[in-house]
Amino acid sequence: MDVDVLVFDVFGTVVDWRGSIIAEGEAVWKQRGLDLDWGAFADAWRAGYQPAMDRIRCGEAPWATIDTLHRRILDDLLTQFDITGLDDAAKDDLNHIWHRLKPWPDAVAGINKLREHFTVTTLSNGNMGLLVDLSKRGGLQWDCILSSELAGHYKPDPQTYQMVCDLLAVPPERTLMVASHRGDLIASRRIGMRTAFVRRPLEYGPDGTPEQPDDGVDFIVNDFIDLAAQLG
């Protein structure tokens, strides 16, 4: 397969959002008095994300970054989980937990290997500031960081995938979208991208239901090292 550019979804595909939130919650926030079910808290936070974006995608709400959406959801959750006593700076710090998500164990080495032969970029709904911060902290080295923010549309809107092709001057059929989410891959394929489904069985936790690929994917891989092997 002749592809030049690998386009990576980030939350869930590259970084373990659920495990990272639980780990920081237990290690840091518990000591500050937030003794919660951090798995449930992470799940509730993530669950608010899709509806918040959908309101923007449908034109019901004006553009807002994921940092802003995460913060609005957090404010609701703090009420819902009956958490009081956090000042504004502490809430901002907690909200920035999404900037500190950790890569899956294979991610850094896998991306470095793939970079030897391909141009690797992100295409995430995370805003640019978040992605730059998360990548620098996690040692994730990209050729380029792109965000839906630059298109003013959230994935899976087609404008986001097309933006990657336009900015990097590459036809869709010479790109490979890499994600652990079938909806992302289906939408990218509609504009002509090739697709690779990455199995992340623990994305939703040990009791969660892992996503499954649809029939149209070009590759099904266990991790990024496997992707490098399958791409030759």
Beta carbon of residue 216, minimum distance to a second copy (angstroms, whole number): 28
Beta carbon of residue 145, minimum distance to a second copy (angstroms, whole number): 5
State the amino acid at position 194 in one-letter form: R
Please list every residue from 128 through 147 that binds a second copy, using CB under 8 A: 128-129, 132, 135-136, 141, 143-145
Q: 140 or 196, CB closer to a second copy?
A: 140
Beta carbon of residue 72, minimum distance to a second copy (angstroms, whole number): 16
CB 101 within 8 A of CB 20: yes
175-179 and 144-147 beta bridge pairing: unpaired
- Residue 150 touches a second copy, criterion: CB under 8 A: yes
219-221 and 144-147 beta bridge pairing: unpaired
CB 224 within 8 A of CB 114: yes
Phi/psi at 144 (5° precision): -165, 140
Separation CA 33–CA 134 (nearest Å): 25
Separation CA 11–CA 29 (nearest Å): 22
Residue 179 three-state SS: strand
Q: 119 or 159, CB closer to a second copy?
A: 119
- Residue 95 touches a second copy, criterion: CB under 8 A: no
- Residue 67 touches a second copy, criterion: CB under 8 A: yes
- Residue 58 touches a second copy, criterion: CB under 8 A: no
Residue selected from 56, 108, 109, 168 as contacting a second copy according to rule CB under 8 A: 168
- Terminal CA-to-CA distance of the chain, rounded, Å? 10
Separation CA 165–CA 174 (nearest Å): 9
Please report where in the chains the tokens 């959801």 appear, as a residue: 73
Separation CA 42–CA 21 (nearest Å): 6
Beta carbon of residue 5, minimum distance to a second copy (angstroms, whole number): 9
Q: 149 or 211, CB closer to a second copy?
A: 149
Beta carbon of residue 168, minimum distance to a second copy (angstroms, whole number): 5
- Residue 157 touches a second copy, criterion: CB under 8 A: no
Q: 127 or 160, CB closer to a second copy?
A: 127
- Residue 127 touches a second copy, criterion: CB under 8 A: yes
Beta carbon of residue 167, minimum distance to a second copy (angstroms, whole number): 4
Interface residues with a second copy (CB under 8 A) are 67, 119, 121, 127-129, 132, 135-136, 141, 143-145, 149-150, 167-170
